[in-house]
A and B are shown apart, each in its own frame.
Chain A
Amino acid sequence: MIRTFKILRFNLEKDKKPHFQNYQTECPPGYTVLDVLYDIKGLQDGTLSYRRSCRSGVCGSCGMKINGVNLLACKTQVESLKKKVIHVEPLPGFPVMRDLIVDLTPFWEKLENIKPYLINHTPPPTTERYQSAEDQLKIEEATWCILCNCCTSSCPSLWANKEYLGPAALLKAYRFVFDSRDEGAEERYKVLNTKSGLWRCHTIFNCMDACPQEINITEYISKLKTRVVSERY
């Protein structure tokens, strides 16, 4: 079936502001939005730029706004999009570098701030550190985050305040604070327990709806809040 796509185009070397461009393309059953972008780029317009790599939902490159919702292009079946014309735009809330590509620098900086690595000052044993299957389960789902930022970019609190750490960075913080092997919670609280930290989250659930990994982000952020409150106050 032939479908129409309106894709937001922007080239800072030429354009003052972004504009939509129309493309029509054949979409056989099973086609994803990434397949469509691939075909358009290859067959109709080589200047269309987007990020992609694994095409199986695990690298997190192809997050974009499709018919108003943040989705991974590779995981979105064209057949599932009911509107007649399909709109494709870059992730909101980040500066656009070109077409569907946003500048994620602000996110990478925030990620570094929460100390996204295991902190453990005790010398390790010669084998593994033991962790109960129960304790591992507490963090397992959170470790499946692919850093696509579909969540961050759907978060109204972040749109309002660009300094806010945002759900993906907070989720990473959760993953370490609740890791039974980690001893760095205190250091992280300093970043989390601030105006642009945990308390900017108003539990609006946008992030969870956007997450292609279906991670219970809000629940984990709430647990982090409870933990900070109980240890700090």
Chain B
Amino acid sequence: MTHIHDVVIIGAGLAGMRAALEASKVADVAVITKLYPSRSHSGAAQGGIAATLKNVDSDDCIEFHMFDTVKGSDYLGDQDAIENLCNEAPEVIYETEHMGVPYSRTPEGKIAQRKFGGHSLHHGKVAANRACYAADYTGHVLLHTFFEQCIKQRVRFYSEFQAVGLIVVDNRCLGIVAWDIQKGGLHVFHAKATMFATGGYGRVFKITSNAHASTGDGLALCLRAGLPLEDMEFVQFHPTGLYKQGILLSEGARGEGAYLLNGLNERFMERYAPTLMELAPRDMVSRSIQTEILEGRGAGPKKDHVWLDIRHIGEKRIAAVIPQIRSLCLNFGGVDPIKQPIPIQTTAHYSMGGIPVTCDGRVIYDEKNSLVEGLYAAGECACVSVHGANRLGTNSLLDATANGRRTGRTIANDIGKLKLNALPENPMEDTQERIGRVAGSTGREKVIHIRHDLRDSMEENCGVFRSGERLQKQKQILKDLLERYRQIKIDDQSKVFNTDIMEALELGYMLEFSELIVEGALRRTESRGAHSRTDFPKRDDVNWLNHTLAWRDASGQIRFGSKPVVIKNYQPMERKY
């Protein structure tokens, strides 16, 4: 079946829905999502969304937010995009409030704001209260509010449709192919403008804060259509994942004053970031935790974790500002954080890299920023790049919302000029063939085993600390896994809700772009932000102050290129906290 819409947006998280709200003011928009909109992973975000509202710190200013973001990115962020992000933040947040987001409030009735890692006043002097929040349900209430506004504006959703193919001919995007999960069957969505907002890919790692659905589908579809991905080696590991589960305990806890303690009960951050302590940026805190564990100061019988201690914050304040953290600990970790410290370990959390786009959300296909006509992206799947080598907490809800809005506006502006170009003769051919092949697999390998081997090995060899040796090893492991993937077995042949086939497709995606993460990490012989090489411990601005672009052709060959970083007001400096 073929559907025609002016605009097709894939993904109904914050980025996709915020864009839909803009574009649908002037155009006919369809949003395709493999989950019901309210179930997108944006809803798991707890801590907050950054903006210089000055509701708590009257001396905060937008320029401080810019500086912190640039420094946090380890100078790999593009400063034009960062300027836009920080400048637009206050208006973007006020808009969400007008839409109905039930923010927590200050005593005067303004939006409440709290501290978050890496955000400071006066270029690092003291921690800034810049994170707007709704208890620790910030992402949840934003997501539901955007969904509500989409209902109000009668945005057309195709829920439980999974995009499985992207149609790009001669650098023009004509739409996508999607599988109807509920009924089975392929549909072509033919559009003037297509936008990806498919979120992150934490599921590539064993311990992750991401949802089962965070499998990076949009990235893989772009790769397969011959488009490059940017900065894939930069993956953020969040310091405080619940031990063994990886479920996130928001940085909001440390914003409220929580301590990190090692097995010897020392507040070990003193050694690594004496000024900001627990509120140093995530990459640093994660490395500090990992170092404590590697040097034998971990907690527990295996000395493989550390503690997050919130007891001194007190039951009342915990219930008022971080209630979800307590219930997560009780339900998933079996500990009551009012009485005991919480066992934590680092958890794969956020993908800084993604589909390369201009500041306005237009997808590019080469080092010269040439545009793919009619293709756009925003949110975690895109790389603008506002986060560079490491994103600051609360900047990604902002990225998804602000750049979702920006991209929606770009589409609204472009739509009059864009044509509905003719589809190729059989636009579903490739996808049909691929799904047919997967569905008909009768090999011996179980998808779950390959998936687990992928996750375990990525965690082991491409995690917080990396080295040339380990990455080489991982490169070979991925080749073997891709080989095994050809031998999988599919049990389910029904049409309705065939999650067996969809999960197998997702695994294929993850294997393919993991190669870019690993080979990008191998190629980048320096340490910057979240990418930390034990064999190249220093940042190297002479050779590596640039973005990675990577392509993967049908035979699996990977090709690299690079793009300069946009530097405006801030020259790279040493990054100390």
Contacts and interface: CB of A to CB of B under 8 A. Distances in A.
Interface of A: 11-14, 30, 32, 41-43, 45-47, 49-50, 52-61, 75, 77, 97-99, 101, 104, 111-112, 115-118, 120, 124, 126-133, 136, 139-140, 143-144, 146-147, 175-176, 179, 181-182
Nearest to B498: A49
B41 A117 contact: no
Give the top 10 A-B pairs by smallest Cβ distance, nearest first: A42-B448, A46-B491, A118-B100, A130-B109, A117-B148, A59-B39, A117-B152, A46-B500, A124-B98, A47-B492
B418 interface: no
B44 A140 contact: no
A140 B100 contact: no
B97 A129 contact: yes
B226 interface: no
A181 B96 CA distance: 13
A147 B499 CA distance: 22
B43 A49 contact: no
A144 B137 contact: yes
A195 to B, nearest CB: 24
A143 B448 contact: no
27 contacts: A13-B495, A42-B446, A42-B451, A47-B492, A53-B213, A54-B41, A54-B44, A55-B212, A57-B331, A58-B44, A59-B41, A59-B211, A101-B497, A104-B36, A117-B99, A117-B149, A118-B100, A128-B94, A128-B103, A128-B111, A133-B104, A133-B106, A133-B107, A140-B134, A143-B141, A147-B144, A182-B100
A56 B98 contact: no
Interface string B309-341: 000000000000000100110011010000000
Contacts of B324: 58
A11 B494 CA distance: 8
Given A11-B494, A53-B212, A131 B109 contact: yes
A60 B39 contact: yes
A50 B500 CA distance: 11
Contacts of B103: 128, 136
Interface string B446-486: 11100100000000000000000000000000000000000
B135 interface: yes
Interface of B: 35-36, 38-41, 43-44, 53, 93-94, 97-100, 102-111, 134-135, 137, 140-141, 144-145, 148-149, 151-152, 182, 211-213, 244, 247-248, 324, 327-328, 331-332, 334, 446-448, 451, 489-492, 494-500
Contacts of B98: 118, 120, 124, 128-129
Contacts of B94: 124, 126-128
B38 A60 contact: yes
A97 B182 contact: yes
Nearest to B149: A117
A54 B105 contact: no
Contacts of B100: 117-118, 176, 179, 181-182
A46 B500 CA distance: 6
A58 B140 contact: yes
A54 B43 contact: yes
A115 B149 CA distance: 10
Contacts of B151: 111-112, 116-117
Contacts of A176: 100
Nearest to B98: A124
Contacts of A101: 497
Nearest to A142: B102
Nearest to B493: A47
A68 B538 CA distance: 58
Contacts of A14: 494
Nearest to A34: B212
Contacts of B145: 118
User: Which of A45, A54, A147 has the largest number of chain B CB atoms within 10 A?
Assistant: A54
B334 to A, nearest CB: 7
A53 B499 CA distance: 12
A61 B40 CA distance: 10
Given A46-B500, A53-B213, A99-B497, A144 B140 contact: yes
Contacts of A104: 36
Given A58-B43, A118-B148, 12 more contacts: A56-B248, A56-B328, A56-B332, A98-B497, A117-B99, A128-B111, A140-B102, A140-B104, A143-B134, A143-B141, A146-B140, A175-B102
B212 A136 contact: no
A39 B381 CA distance: 29
B291 to A, nearest CB: 27
Given A53-B35, A59-B35, A124-B98, A136 B495 contact: no
Which of A46, A131, A175 has the most C-beta atoms of chain B within 10 angstroms of its own C-beta?
A46
Contacts of A131: 105, 109
Contacts of A99: 497
B325 to A, nearest CB: 11
Contacts of A53: 35, 39, 41, 211-213
B243 to A, nearest CB: 10
A30 B244 contact: yes
Contact of A136 (B40, B105, B328): B105
Nearest to B147: A116
A126 B98 CA distance: 10
Contacts of A133: 104-107, 109
A43 B446 contact: yes
Contacts of A120: 98
A77 B448 CA distance: 22
A67 B324 CA distance: 26
Contacts of B489: 46
A18 B504 CA distance: 26
A151 B143 CA distance: 21
A46 B134 CA distance: 40
Contacts of B108: 130
A207 B332 CA distance: 23
A129 B93 CA distance: 12
B491 A47 contact: yes
A156 to B, nearest CB: 26
Q: Which of B40, B106, B149, B327 has its CB near the most chain A CB atoms (within 10 A)?
A: B327
Contacts of A130: 108-110
A83 to B, nearest CB: 20
A41 B451 CA distance: 13
B496 A98 contact: yes
A59 B499 contact: no
A55 B500 contact: no
A96 B500 CA distance: 18
B102 A56 contact: no
Contacts of A55: 211-212, 247
A116 B148 contact: yes
B204 to A, nearest CB: 16
Contacts of B334: 30
A87 B103 CA distance: 40
Most buried by B among A116, A120, A140, A179: A140
Contacts of A118: 98-100, 145, 148
